[in-house]
Structure 1
Amino acid sequence: MTTYDLIDEATIDAPADTVWSALVAEFRGARKWWVPANTFTTLSGAPDAVGGRVGVTVHTKGVDKGGPKLRFTARTIAVEPGRRLKVAYVEGVFRGTSTFSLDPLADGRTRISMHFDGSPHGWLKLLAKVADLGAEHSKGTLAAFVSLDRQLSAVPR
């Protein structure tokens, strides 16, 4: 079985509390910076509270561009407000966990990282045999982090 243990990170030109707010807002469905690759919908509870459930859709060709849509559900299993959010993938095409961590830097910026430790499930296991899903995951995550930095660095502080 294919498993992924990936860590993607970036430095965001904004303080950690601002980055945290943007992360949680995105998981609530803001569609500000992870689009066009991913969209999120709160299914129950809150994404930043243990037990909260978020529907995730990966748009393989971009939102409204056709192509396969990878859907799965993330359930929040641990939260350190402003610092760390850990989810478990409990339904859909992935099983495993992701941990989002924010590290404030001395210069006022923030290092954000996503540690994805999971495997394809169901029909996606077949696609994983012919496509490098790990590379695509990192490509989408890093593009989202660049978009987040662009959005937040333009906000006056």
Structure 2
Amino acid sequence: MTTYDLIDEAVIDAPADAVWEALVAEFRGAGQWWVPHNTFTAVSGAPDTVGARVGVTVHTKGVDKGGLKLRFTSRTVAVEPGRRLDIEYVDGVFRGPSASFLLEPLEGGRTRISMHFTGRPHGWLKVLAKVADLGAEHSRGTLAAFESLNRQLSAVGR
């Protein structure tokens, strides 16, 4: 069985509190910086509250561009406000164990953001995982989102 264990990170030219607010807003459905690759919808509760559920759609060709839509649901399992958000995958094409978003303040008001993704494809995605490098696609999409976040937040600071 295919299991992914990936860590993607970037340095954002903004303080950790701004990065945290942008992360939580995105999971509420803001659609500001993870688009066109992913969109999020709060299903129940605030994303930075233990027990909250967020619907995730991965748009393989981009939002409104056709292509496969990979849908799954996450549940928040641990929160350290402003520093760490841990989730598990509970429904859809990915299932457990988790993803962790970690923010590390750096000198000069910058922040390192990392996503540690561990998950297993479920259902029909298990078949696709045998012929497509979903791990590489995941990292490409995550790093593009982090670059977009950096552009967004560094523009606000100007």
For 1:64 and 1:156, how far apart are their aligned partners in 2?
Answer: 31
For 1:4 and 1:29, how far apart are their aligned partners in 2?
Answer: 25
Moved over 2 A (4+): none
Cross-structure match for 2:49: 49
Cross-structure match for 1:79: 79
Alpha-carbon displacement from aligned partner over 1:69-119 (angstroms, at most 9, x marks no partner): 000000000000000000000000001210000000022100000000111
Cross-structure match for 1:113: 114
Cross-structure match for 2:143: 142
User: Does the alignment pair 1:11 with 2:15?
Assistant: no
Cross-structure match for 1:130: 131
User: Does the alignment pair 1:103 with 2:92?
Assistant: no
Does the 8 Å contact 2:14/2:157 carry over to 1? no
How far residue 156 of structure 1 moved from its aligned partner, in angstroms, is 2.6
Given the two structures, how large is their TM-score scaled by the length of structure 1?
0.99
Structure 1: segments with no counterpart, 5+ residues: none
For 1:115 and 1:148, how far apart are their aligned partners in 2?
Answer: 17
Cross-structure match for 2:154: 153
Letter matched to residue 101 of structure 1: L
For 1:72 and 1:14, how far apart are their aligned partners in 2?
Answer: 30
Cross-structure match for 1:58: 58
CA RMSD of aligned residues (A): 0.7
For 2:122 and 2:16, how far apart are their aligned partners in 1?
Answer: 33
Letter matched to residue 152 of structure 2: Q
For 1:59 and 1:8, how far apart are their aligned partners in 2?
Answer: 19
Letter matched to residue 56 of structure 1: V
Given the two structures, how large is their TM-score scaled by the length of structure 2?
0.98
For 2:95 and 2:27, how far apart are their aligned partners in 1?
Answer: 18
Structure 2: segments with no counterpart, 5+ residues: none
SS at match of 2:119: strand
Letter matched to residue 84 of structure 2: R
Cross-structure match for 1:33: 33
